[in-house]
C-alpha cells in the first residue's frame, strides 16, 4: 500500500486534523506545573498549529506527599452544569477557548468524597467538557530496581470505557498503566475509534524496555493512531525518594510506525491523523472481523 507522508497536513472530507502530544517535567507545585503546561501548549501551537493538544498523566501534581496530592486535587463540576471548576479545570477550559483547540487535559487528581481518581478531562474549542475518564488499571507493581509503586494507596479505579468525537474523529481514552491491558483497547476499537490518547508518567525502569513496544502493539492490534503525551525527568516523593519518568512522548500510526517523537526534556511532538490510510489498513487486514476468541 502507498504510505502517505506523515507529519504533513492531510485533508479529508474538508477537515484538517493534527495532534500534538506534550512532554512535561512536572513536580509537586501545582501553580508551577500549570505555568509549564501553558508555555508548552503555546510553543507547540506556534510550531505546528495542531487541532488537538494532549497533556501527560497527573501533570498537576507529580510526587510530594499523599496529603499534598489531596490538596492539589479538584472536585469536578457536574458535566453540563456550567459550574466553575478548580484552577486546573478552568485552566484547561480557558486554553481550549483562547487557542481554539480540542484540549485533552492529560489527567489530574479528581477529589470525589474521600477518594481520589486519576482523571482525564477533554474540552472543545468552545470550552465545553466533551469527556471524562477515570483510570481503570492502577499501578501497584515493583520495578526491576526494587522500587515499589502502590497507586491504589492514593487513588480509586474507574470502571467505564470512554470515547468521544472531535472534529469528525472518534477518540478513545486510556491512561498509562492501562496500556498493558489490551482488552480495554479492544473495547475502544469496537467503538470504531480512529485515535486513542494515552497520557503517561511511565517509570524510567519500565519505560526503557516497554513504553514504545506496548504503544506500537496497541496501535497495530487496534489499527488506530495512538498518541501518548508523557512526563519526563525526576521528581521527589514525600519520603524524600527521587524517582524518574521516561518521557519519549510519541504518536504511532495504525501500521505501528512511530511517526513523531519528542526529544529529551520538556517539549512536544506532532503528526497528522490520516483517516484514508487508517481505512486502507483496516480494509486490507480486517482483524476485528477475524476475531474468534473475544
pLDDT at 46: 98
Averaged pLDDT of the chain: 93
Whether 90 has a pLDDT exceeding 90, the answer reads yes
Residue 190's pLDDT band (cuts 50, 70, 90): very high
C-alpha gyration radius of the chain: 18
Helical (H) or strand (E) element with 189: helix 182-189
The answer to whether residue 2 is domain-embedded is no
Say whether pLDDT at 251 is over 60: yes
Give residue 11's pLDDT band: very low, low, confident or very high (50, 70, 90): very low
Q: Could you list the active site residues?
A: 57, 135, 176
Residue 79 has what pLDDT? Answer: 86
Against a cut of 0.75, is the pTM above it?
yes
In three-state form (DSSP H/G/I as H, E/B as E, the rest C), the secondary structure along 54-66 is ECCCCCCCCCECH
pLDDT confidence of residue 13: 38
Q: Which residue has the cell 497527573?
A: 58
Is residue 6 assigned to a domain?
A: no
Domain assignment of residue 231, given as a range = 17-282
Instruction: Give Cα separations from 130 to 24, 165, 169, 227 (angstroms).
Output: 23, 8, 13, 18
For the residues 267-283, what does the mean pLDDT come to?
Answer: 94
User: What is the spatial distance between Cα 175 and Cα 197, in angstroms, rounded to a whole number?
Assistant: 8
Asked, for residue 291, whether it belongs to a domain, the answer is no
The band of 7, judged by pLDDT with boundaries at 50, 70 and 90, is very low
| Cell numbers found for residue 258 | 512511530
- Does residue 22 sit within a domain? yes
Mean of pLDDT values over 124-151: 94
Residue 1 belongs to some domain of the structure: no
**d(Cα 119, Cα 132) in Å, to the nearest integer?**
7
pLDDT greater than 90 at residue 219: yes
The answer to whether residues 22 and 268 touch, using CB atoms and an 8 Å cutoff, is yes
| Assigned domain for 129 exists | yes
The stretch 75-104 carries a mean pLDDT of 96
CATH number of the domain encompassing residue 26 = 3.60.110.10
- Residue 109 inside a domain? The answer is yes
Query: 158 in a domain, yes or no?
Result: yes
Q: Which of the residue ranges 97-111, 144-158, 212-226 would you say has the lowest mean pLDDT?
A: 144-158
Mean pLDDT of 145-155: 91
Q: For residue 104, give the H/E element and its range.
A: strand 102-104
101 is written with which cell numbers? 483547540
Counting the structural domains of the chain, the total is 1
Question: What are 235-247's pLDDT values in tens digits?
Answer: 999 999 999 999 9
- How far, in Å, are 43, 74, 157, 222, 285 from residue 136 at the CA level? 32, 19, 5, 19, 30
Q: What was the pLDDT predicted at 16?
A: 53
Amino acid at each position: 500500500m502507498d504510505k502517505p507522508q506523515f507529519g504533513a497536513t492531510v485533508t479529508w472530507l474538508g477537515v484538517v486534523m493534527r495532534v500534538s502530544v506534550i512532554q512535561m517535567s512536572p513536580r509537586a507545585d501545582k501553580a508551577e506545573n500549570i505555568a509549564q503546561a501553558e508555555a508548552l501548549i503555546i510553543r507547540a501551537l506556534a510550531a505546528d498549529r495542531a487541532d488537538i493538544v494532549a497533556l501527560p498523566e497527573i501533570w498537576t501534581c507529580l510526587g510530594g506527599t499523599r496529603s499534598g496530592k489531596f490538596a492539589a486535587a479538584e472536585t469536578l463540576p457536574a458535566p453540563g452544569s456550567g459550574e466553575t471548576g478548580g484552577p486546573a479545570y478552568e485552566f484547561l477550559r480557558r486554553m481550549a477557548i483562547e487557542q481554539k483547540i480540542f484540549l485533552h487535559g492529560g489527567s489530574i487528581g479528581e477529589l470525589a468524597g474521600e477518594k481520589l481518581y486519576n482523571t482525564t478531562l477533554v474540552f472543545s474549542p468552545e470550552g465545553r467538557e466533551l469527556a471524562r475518564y477515570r483510570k481503570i488499571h492502577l499501578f501497584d507493581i515493583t520495578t526491576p530496581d526494587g522500587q515499589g509503586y502502590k497507586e491504589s494507596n492514593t487513588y480509586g479505579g474507574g470502571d467505564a470505557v470512554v470515547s468521544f468525537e472531535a472534529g469528525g474523529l472518534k477518540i478513545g481514552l486510556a491512561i498509562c498503566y492501562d496500556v498493558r491491558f489490551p482488552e480495554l483497547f479492544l473495547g475502544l476499537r469496537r467503538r470504531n475509534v480512529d485515535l486513542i490518547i494515552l497520557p503517561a508518567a511511565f517509570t524510567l525502569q519500565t519505560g526503557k524496555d516497554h513504553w514504545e513496544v506496548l504503544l506500537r502493539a496497541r496501535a497495530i492490534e487496534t489499527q488506530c493512531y495512538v498518541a501518548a503525551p508523557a512526563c519526563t525527568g525526576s521528581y521527589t516523593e514525600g519520603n524524600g525518594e527521587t524517582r524518574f519518568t521516561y518521557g519519549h512522548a510519541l504518536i504511532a500510526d495504525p501500521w505501528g510506525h512511530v511517526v513523531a517523537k519528542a526529544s529529551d526534556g520538556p517539549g512536544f511532538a506532532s503528526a497528522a491523523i490520516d483517516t484514508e490510510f487508517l481505512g486502507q489498513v483496516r480494509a486490507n487486514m480486517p482483524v476485528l472481523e477475524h476475531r474468534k476468541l473475544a
